[in-house]
Structure 1
Amino acid sequence: MEQLLGLTNPAPLSLTSLAINLLLGIVLSSMVAWFYVQYGRSLSNRAKFAQTLPVLALITVLIISIVKSSLALSLGLVGALSIVRFRTAIKEPEELIYLFMAIAIGLGLGADQRWPTALAILIILGYLLARHFLVQRPEKNNLYFNIMTPNGEASFSQINEVLLSHTDAAELRRFDTTPENLQATYLVKCADDTALAALLDKLRGQFPQGEFTFVEQDNTLGA
């Protein structure tokens, strides 16, 4: 009975231990955030996303430190998480890796596993760094291209002619026309940055009032 009561009554939380874990959490999660900004391959705003990682790690440290010694608090946490549903969309799979790393830092430090947590994070970051330099990245030559010009300035055939003369492949994905504007979206494959620059110069020269947008889309068109 005494053991059961011990599980339901929280043990005193050491403020010194909590402070050490929080400080170490700041160091480790800041390392992860810096690494993500420098070496991440996500197209989203990495610097803005990285700012959330230390905060997530510290919150996890606090939660685990509070609930780890009490069965009642642990069950309460499970109940709270079952009520609160997070619907924030993760646009890049890479973001999940760093989110889980921040959570892992919080879980490890909250459980007072400082050295294993620090060692594991250093090994993981070391692996990611080695992979960044050793694994050859695919060429970024597939692009979504959108053009919008005044309707009298360009025709569909003129746009096609320019694209086919400066790209390896071009596939029309969307075409819209109104009395005022003509808008077309293509998936294009450029050989390199030089070809892309030549294409842009040609477009600006032939359609001076046009608006052009290029968005990277790797490994979608061609081999």
Structure 2
Amino acid sequence: MGAYVRDESDPSSARHRFPAEVISHAVWLYFRFPLSLRMVEEMLAARRIGVNHETVRQWALKFSQEFAAQIRRRLPAPEDKWHLDEVAISIAGRKHWLWRAVDQHGVVLDILVQSRRNTKAAKRLLRKLLKKQGITPRVMITDKLASYAAARNKVMPSVEHRQHKGLNNRAENSHQPTRRRERIMKRFKSAGQAQRFLSIHDQVANLFHRTANTTAAEHRTSRAQAFMTWAEVTGLVAGF
């Protein structure tokens, strides 16, 4: 599972039967890859770690939001070109809309699960983005949904807005991991669950994101740094 030892000064995993290394690895597997809780249980069992899938679920509920918050604080500031897109998802038999914003490198800026696909929903996304990112983009790229233009005029009228479906592949492609998770999880149970899970999932993906056109050596360096950051975030220290 990697050369990590527990940081005894970190209280987050205190009073747990398993060490922080096991908890960290289980949470990482669940949010990093399209795995069900039972799949994570089996992968841990292959390493002779007897953890029930319900325990993995409890670890994810308890620790993952703080992990994601720390990752967000450590990642570089977003680029100034934002791609926005929305995709339909089914929750408890009802159609909802997953609104997502990414920068030009595919790093997810934020997501918002809403029941509507209209100007009010688009305004909520833009306001949430401005609050979370703390900056205004230079360019906003969307598909031709009229709600984006109306929301942009109200929330950030000075931002250049380009509407063209062919320009927005970056945002559309960012939905693919969500579709894979949807299938594994047999759909989300509620809008709140989808919002919580995807907010964490996307931050973990951001940490291990591979920027296009990087060399193999650059990717190895970036991945090593990502694992170091994950170790710091989850209360582990690297042991070499």
Give the TM-score band, short-chain normalised.
under 0.3
Q: Between Structure 1 and Structure 2, whose CA radius of gyration is higher?
A: 1
Q: Output the TM-score relative to the length of structure 1.
A: 0.24
Q: Output the TM-score relative to the length of structure 2.
A: 0.22
Which structure shows the bigger proportion of residues in helix conformation? 1
